[in-house]
Amino acid sequence: QQPVQSPQAVILREGEDAVINCSSSKALYSVHWYRQKHGEAPVFLMILLKGGEQKGHEKISASFNEKKQQSSLYLTASQLSYSGTYFCGTATMEYGNKLVFGAGTILRVKS
Amino acid sequence: DGGITQSPKYLFRKEGQNVTLSCEQNLNHDAMYWYRQDPGQGLRLIYYSQIVNDFQKGDIAEGYSVSREKKESFPLTVTSAQKNPTAFYLCASSPRGLAGGGEQYFGPGTRLTVT
């Protein structure tokens, strides 16, 4: 079942912060975050695993609430380069070897 | 340089023709994946393979076929049975598979147009 992302879109000014949420109705094994710019492939940002392990870019932070099956991606002091569509992908405890992606959150950073 | 390559970047075909999309990785990753992305939408899993000579159907496998004869290669064939083949196709790989806690990286993609 597809995870639900919120908000659908957000507009920021440079330097502002944003939070993107990803929620699942299934018990999750891992949550993956990607950023995709128009016409390009998604770029890996972070993976969060059940049990607390995280791997990803230094300047990206995220959380994974295992009780609520929710993850949040925190974008602080946004830059123009942060613009794009952010996707979360979730692997459930039942099907841990494949990802189901959310519909995406469009982020636009203005100068 | 290590990475995932997909070729060609753009592909045009007539309706009724089968077409094979290439995906090669030199990262020594065990698992490989094929996704489809339609305009303004998320990614949907077509097929995945965790080891050589083994692969599983994803959520939208109808009209597609794959093979995994070598660790570094995972070609996708879009057959004439696929009703709406025009899409952006993305190949991905993971060092030890998602169930092993591995992250997933994408290739640059192939944009297929069928008329």
Q: Residue B17: what residue type?
A: Q
Band (pLDDT 50/70/90 cuts) for residue A52 is: confident
Gap between the Cα atoms of A63 and B38, Å rounded = 29
CA A77-B104-B88 angle, 5° bins: 90
Is pLDDT at A35 greater than 90 in this prediction?
yes
Report the percentage of chain A scoring pLDDT > 90.
83
Q: Residue A104: exposed, middle, or buried by beta-carbon count in 10 A (0-12, 13-18, 19+)? A: buried
Give the pLDDT of chain B (115 residues) as one tens digit per residue: 679 999 999 999 999 999 999 999 999 999 999 999 998 889 999 999 999 999 999 999 999 999 999 999 999 999 999 999 999 999 999 998 888 788 899 999 999 999 9
Question: For residue B100, what are the contacts with CB-CB under 8 A and spacing of at least 6?
Answer: none
The predicted pLDDT at position B27 comes to 95
pLDDT per residue as tens digits for the range A69-78: 999 999 999 9
> At CB < 8 Å, which residues of chain B contact A?
31, 33, 41-45, 48, 50, 56, 58-59, 90, 97-99, 101, 103-109
Q: What is the separation of C-alpha A23 from the centre of its chain, rounded to a whole number of angstroms?
A: 10
For chain A, what is the mean pLDDT?
94
Which whole-number Å values give the CA distances from A99 to A9, B27, B67, in the listed order? 22, 20, 20
pLDDT of amino acid A80:
96
Which of chain B's residues have a Cβ under 8 Å away from the Cβ of A22? Answer: none
Q: Compute the nearest-CA separation of B15 from chain A (Å).
A: 24
- Give the pLDDT score at B28: 95
Q: DSSP of B63-78, one letter per residue?
A: TEEE--SBTTB--EEE
Residue B22 has φ and ψ, to the nearest 5°, of -95, 145
Least CB–CB distance from B98: residue in A40, A98, A103: A98
> A97 and B104 in contact by Cβ < 8 A?
no
Entry field: residues in chain A: 111
